[in-house]
Amino acid sequence: MQDYDEFLEEVLIFEDQLQERIRELAEEISEDYADQDLMLICILKGGVMFLTDLMRALSIPHTIDFMAVSSYGAGARDSEGQVRISLDLTTSIADRNVLLVEDIIDSGNTIASVLALLRTRGPKSLRVCTLLDKAERREAEVPIHYRGFEIPNKFVFGYGLDLDEYYRSLPFIGVVQAGKFIQQE
């Protein structure tokens, strides 16, 4: 493993900025869903750090579940534009208020496919909460109800986001120095 110092161009969002923004989002969500049933769905793996910090900051009762989608061409879609689920939810979302928790929305294709699929399962409501929004890169139209930060079109890592599966545990969001990250076998 390389030390990330070698290819970290800059820290884009520091740990205290992340935590402060997550507390604000949690407050907003707690108000919006006060006295309502809430189910958070985390899309693995990138969303896990955000999910666990967000749920600890929520002041309302809620349940959690997980799903994973596998990439098939651009944005985890197959030829019919359907999302390919590699791990499905273990609980029903019928008549539940569902909030999708994502690490980053880039082209928007992944989340658009997941939303289309979940809508067919009859949730009472369905909203999206993303920590990062690379708005410049959007291809699919995605309604974002809760947004942590809009970021520039740069490849980022840390706080759930990986570089070839590593560095998800870093407490900050960093920008990769162009051409510096070498894949390890």
Q: Which residues are annotated as catalytic?
A: 106
Cβ neighbour number for residue 185 with a 10 Å cutoff = 2
Residue numbers 137-156 binding ligand IMP by CB under 6 A: 155-156
Closest separation in Å from C-beta 165 to ligand IMP: 11
- Provide the minimum distance between the beta carbon of 47 and ligand IMP in the complex, in angstroms, as a whole number: 8
Q: Does 106 bind ligand IMP (CB under 6 A)?
A: yes
The answer to whether 110 contacts ligand IMP (rule: CB under 6 A) is yes
Nearest to 109 by CA among 136, 142, 80: 142
Q: Where are the alpha helices (DSSP H) in the chain?
A: 15-32, 48-57, 109-119
Q: Does 160 bind ligand IMP (CB under 6 A)?
A: no
HSE-up of 76 (CA within 13 Å, CB side)? 22
Residue 108 lies near ligand IMP (rule: CB under 6 A): yes
Q: Identify the DSSP state of 178.
A: T
Q: Which residue, 180, 154, 159, 153, is CA-closest to 171? A: 159
Query: Nearer Cβ to ligand IMP, position 111 or 118?
Result: 111
Position of tokens 């820290």?
Answer: 11
Q: Contact with ligand IMP (CB under 6 A): which of 44, 107, 127, 135?
A: 107
Q: Is 104 in the site for ligand IMP (CB under 6 A)?
A: yes
Q: 93 vs 104, which CB is nearer to ligand IMP?
A: 104
Q: How far apart are CA 131 and CA 174, in angstroms?
A: 14
Stretch that binds ligand IMP, among 14-22, 27-35, 88-96, 104-112 (CB under 6 A): 104-112
Return the number of the residue (124 or 154) whose C-beta is nearest ligand IMP.
154
Distance CA 181, CA 81 (A): 32
Structure tokens at 153: 């079109």
**Site size toward ligand IMP, by CB under 6 A:** 15
Residues binding ligand IMP (CB under 6 A) = 46, 75, 103-111, 155-157, 161
